[in-house]
Each structure stands twice: as structure tokens, then as C-alpha cells.
Chain A
Amino acid sequence: MNTLLTLLFRRLPIGWLQLSHSKGRFVAAVSGVAFANLLVFMQLGIMGALNSSTIAPYGLFNADIILSSAAGNTLTDKDNVARVRMFQALGVPGVARATPMYLGNLPFTLPDGTSVSMLTFGVDSTQPGFVAPGIGGDLNQLTLENTALLDLGTRGIPKSVVAGLRTGESFAFEANGKTLLAVGTMDVGGGFLADGMLMMSDQTFLRFFPTRSSGAPSHILLKVADGVSHDTVVARLRATLPAQSVKVQAMPEAAQSDLSYMSTQRPTGIIFGFGVFMGILVGLVIVYQVLSTDVADHLREYATFKAMGYGHSFFLGIVFEEAIILAIFGFIPGLIVSIGLYAGLNAVTGLPVEMEAGRAILVFLGTLAACTLSGAIATRRLANADPADLF
């Protein structure tokens, strides 16, 4: 290690020698950085779970364009759009097929008697291709009365049921006082919106939600004809449909605006965003403390080097060397513990808390920057003082 670092820096690896000289202090410093990482990872993980559970329902569908009520901000807002808009849309050149989409929260009883709330989607089961390819079972089987696709990630669902559904078994459940037959599966997970999800035909949906009317779906999903630009069709639809009652959005755009509304307008989103901010702030303070303590511990030795004629760039070099070492050594345990806690949180809450490579890289780069900057700030005292005053 020493020889390698000596070659790398073209000087004695003083930062490394200093850190490894005192094992206790090294462990304390690394733990501090690891804890800062953990803090930020947890906050990002929870916010990531909110974001991915907001986006998850969009992933169930394979539509190109979504028509919504102009009053609604998110997918699950309880606003309706008139079904007549679907027929108007079908008259627009470039629109190939359409389905109404009904959406509601259904009380659902698990085999052990506990009641959970299921985010339930009803779509026209005779229109093919509106469901994403990853979902096990096509919509045809939903044409049968009182059948549904059940979310395998539903909170509290017994393992035997999951295994049975995977092998093609059907299970009967009680929902809203009626019997519902789970004939296929999808794997989404509950998230913040509900405990799980159900997909059913529009006819079944209306049976389980007697107060909803077939003329007022929650959204309307459209497929664009092959070879036609989505943007063109969106523009045509916007020109045709009245903007004060209908909102026309391409699917990815709708998901994005839902996400930004959820994270900046809804209290949960703001609170989690604030959590991330606090996590980063506290993480920065910890990292700064670690680096500035280290500089203070070695101030006498640095002052001696300064007296010998070493310039400020030399000390920055040592501190940056330490910053990089601490960032790497602190990041690894921070990441491992975070992955463990993510798994724990996921098991307990069923929320999609997962480590993403992008997030890990971002946190590492952030740690590196924070360590380096803290080190640079901590050496300022050395730069401004006469060496003789530091002995």
C-alpha cells in the first residue's frame, strides 16, 4: 500500500500513514463518514420509495396517451373524465384504440381475515395490448365475471397463495362483501397509495364499485396507430378536446408530472424531500467534523512542515489524500449497512425501498466532494497562521 501510494503521489503517502498510524482514530473517522452515508442513503431510499410507488401504476399499462380530468393532478385523484371524450378521441386521426380506465380503492379481505386496501384498476378487457407485457396473464381471462389479477407484492398476502397463483391456481377472496376470484398475477407492491393492486375488467369493476358510473371513468387510455408520432396525436387531441375539462398527456409526461406534483405539492413528498435535505446537512456536518478534527490533531506536525518550507498545496494534498481514503473506507460499510436496512424496511413495510446504482454513485461522489471541501476548509487555519504560533 505504501509503495503504491508513494508512486501515485510522488511523495511519502503522509495522509495514509497518518490515518493508519492511529487505528482507533481511523475507525472513529471511518465510522463517522459511514454514518453520514447511511443517513443520506436512508432518506434517499424512503424518498425513492415514494417516487417509485407513484410511478409504479403507470408501469402496468402499455398506453401511449392518457386523457384525464383537467382538475386532477395525479393518477389517483378522484376526478372523472366523461366517457364521451373517448369516442371523440377515437375520431381523431392517428388514434388506434382506446379504453376507459376506472380506478378505486377496494377493501379486500385476506385469508387470515385482515382487511387491506387495494388500488383497483378496471379496463376494457376486450381491447388487447393495454397492459404492460410483464404482467402474468392477459386481459382475456378477465372477461369472466368477478375475476382479477392480484398483486403478488400485496402487504400480508400468504406465501402459499403467492406460490399457488404462480403455478396457475385460482384463489377466491372476499372484497366489499362479494367474492372475487384471483386468476392471474402482477408484481407491483403496495407503496404509499395502497396495500396492493388489482386489475379487473371494467364490468367487474363497476360491479364492485356500485356507486361508479360507466359513463365516468377516471382516465381514458389511448393507443396511437403504428408509425404516427405521439406528439402529433397529442397536439391534435388538444386541439379537439376542450382544455378546461380534459387534460391530454403522453404517458411518460403524465408519470413525470404526477411525480413532480407528489414530491413538491403533497405533504408526504415535501416531508421526505426535507428529510433528504436534513440528511445531507447532518451528513456534511459529520464529515466536516471528522476532517477538521483530523487536521487539528496534526496541526503541530503540519506547522513543522510549513516551517521547513512546504507550501499550502502540500497540505491540501495530504488532506485530499485523507479525504479520498476516508470517503472510500466510509462508503463501503455505509453502503452495505444501507442495503441491509433497505431490505429490512422493505420486508416490514412492503415499500419499494431499493438501492439503485445511480444513487450509490451519487452518494459516493457527494461524500468525496464533502470530504475534500471539508478538508480544504479545515486547512485554512494553517494557511493563515505563522508557523511559530502553531507549535
Chain B
Amino acid sequence: MTRDPIQVRGLDHFFGSGDARKQALFDINLTIARGSLTVLMGPSGSGKTTVLTLIGALREVGSGSVRVLGQELHGADERSLVALRKRLGFIFQAHNLHESLTATQNVLMGLEVHGRANADRQRIAAHHMLDLVGLSDRRDYLPGNLSGGQKQRVAVARALVSNPEIVLADEPTAALDKVSGQNVVRLLKTLGQVRGTTTVMVTHDPRILEMADRIITLEDGRVATDEIRNLG
């Protein structure tokens, strides 16, 4: 089972401190298989995004165990967290693009985190990724001149350009129309099949559920249903 990229055991999570301390997650246990596309569902406040950010090493794991790509996150030092984040691709709910960088430069940031060994090759890879998300004619636009959907696609390209082993996506299709939303999910699905990229996605979008390998529903910080559909 150690080959499973994401293993969560007995995970609790709290927000706030003192009297305001509130438990957000209760005893979450998950094992997610390599190359699969998993969807996290649930009403708002159910803890979906919290689970995603904990797996993405963006939040400190306070109790239980979260093991991602073999790295235990509970009690991990900053150095290990930084090293792990480089191997993940995170697509944020808000696009979070850098306002003063062009689309290409934003995507390049996803590559430069691994070093700047070959600037020309990195540029070609960034352009290729923008082509894949259908933005070949918007390469040198600043985010301010792109529509919400275009920005979201740049963010997708930035997350995927470095071939991450795990993609964590927080409502990546919310700002996209039907066609580009499906394109993005199809891209993630293909990456899973071809490269073994594991995807965990928070979404409410019913169009995506058809493509999911597994659907986990959270309610009030607990796993309510866990449906494995077409695991190949």
C-alpha cells in the first residue's frame, strides 16, 4: 500500500484557539490510488477545501497522519514541506495569478521553482502548456487583460506544466464555460492515464462527476459517502 500517493489516517483539524476553537475535520481516513481522479463533494463548510490544503502541505497537520508521496506531513519541517510542494500542482479556487507577470511568465513560475537550467526549453514548455488549455493567442497578456475563465486556464497550465505527481484542484471549473471546463477535466484525466498523475478535485460541477473514478462526500467534517466507480 505504500505506493498509494495519498494516505490519510485519523486526521482531525481545528480552527481558531481558546473559546473560538472549532473542530473542522473528524477522523478522516482516505487512501487514494495512483492515477485516479477523485472528486471531493459536500456542502460549503463541510471541510473539503481544508482536506485539500492539508494534503497539499499548505496547512499544518496538527493530529493524525497525512502521508503524501511517502512524506509524512505531521511534524514535518519547513524544508521537507517546500520539497514536497514542488512535486504537487495546486489549482486554487481563485486563480491567484501574479498580476504583474504575463500568462507565459506565470506558467514559467511553475517551472522555475525547479531551477532555471534551460530557459529556452522552459519557455517552449510553457507555451505548449498554454496551447493545451487553448490560450495560444493570449501568451503575453497580463492577467488584468484576461477574462475570468482565461485566468483560470492559465492557473491550470501553471499547475500542470511541471508534470506534478499529484494535482490538487479547488473548484477549477467554477469560472469556466461548459466546453473549456470539460477540456480541463479531460486533460487531467488523460494525464492520469498516460503519466499516472493522481488528481483530487473539489467540485460541485455535475458535468465532472461522470468522469470521476471516485466520489467522496464530506458532511460536517466527516466522510459521509465514498463511492468508487470505474477504477481500472
Contact = CB atoms under 8 A, between A and B. Distances in A.
B109 A17 contact: no
Nearest to B113: A309
Nearest to A20: B100
A385 to B, nearest CB: 10
Nearest to B102: A17
Contact of B59 (A11, A20, A301, A386): A386
Contacts of B207: none
A306 B57 CA distance: 10
A17 B102 CA distance: 10
B94 interface: yes
B92 A304 contact: yes
B115 to A, nearest CB: 9
Interface residues on B, range: 20 to 34
A236 interface: no
A213 B92 CA distance: 91
A205 to B, nearest CB: 71
A21 B99 contact: yes
Interface in B89-126: 90, 92, 94, 96, 98-101, 105, 108-110, 112-113, 116, 119
Nearest to B114: A309
A311 B105 contact: no
Contact of A12 (B56, B60, B83, B105): B105
B82 to A, nearest CB: 5
Contact of B101 (A14, A312, A387, A388): A14
B98 A14 contact: yes
Contact of B58 (A18, A311, A386): A386
A303 B59 CA distance: 12
B99 A301 contact: yes
A277 interface: no
B53 interface: yes
Contact of B82 (A21, A303, A304, A311): A311
A307 B100 contact: no
Nearest to B82: A311
Nearest to A303: B96
A372 B90 CA distance: 31
Contacts of B113: 305, 308-310
Interface in B193-225: none
Interface in A302-350: 303-312
Contact of A300 (B58, B96, B101, B109): B96
Contacts of A386: 53, 58-60
B85 A301 contact: no
Interface in A162-206: none
A388 B100 contact: no
Interface string A6-21: 1000111010011011
B58 A388 contact: yes
B101 A308 contact: no
A304 B59 contact: no
Given A11-B116, A14-B101, A388-B59, A304 B96 contact: yes
B74 interface: no
Interface string B133-162: 000000000100000000000000010000
Q: Name which of B82, B83, B98 has the most chain A CB atoms within 10 A of its CB.
A: B98
Contacts of B96: 300-301, 303-304, 391
B86 A309 contact: yes
A307 B53 CA distance: 9
A17 B86 CA distance: 23
B112 A12 contact: yes
Nearest to A306: B85
Contacts of A22: 100
A317 B201 CA distance: 33
Nearest to B96: A304
Contact of B90 (A6, A14, A308): A308
Interface of B: 53, 56, 58-60, 78-79, 82-88, 90, 92, 94, 96, 98-101, 105, 108-110, 112-113, 116, 119, 142, 158
Given A20-B100, A391-B92, 7 more contacts: A11-B116, A14-B98, A17-B100, A308-B113, A309-B83, A388-B56, A388-B59
24 contacts: A6-B119, A12-B105, A14-B98, A17-B105, A21-B100, A300-B96, A301-B96, A301-B98, A305-B109, A307-B58, A307-B85, A307-B92, A308-B85, A308-B90, A308-B109, A308-B113, A309-B87, A310-B82, A312-B78, A386-B53, A386-B58, A386-B59, A388-B53, A388-B59
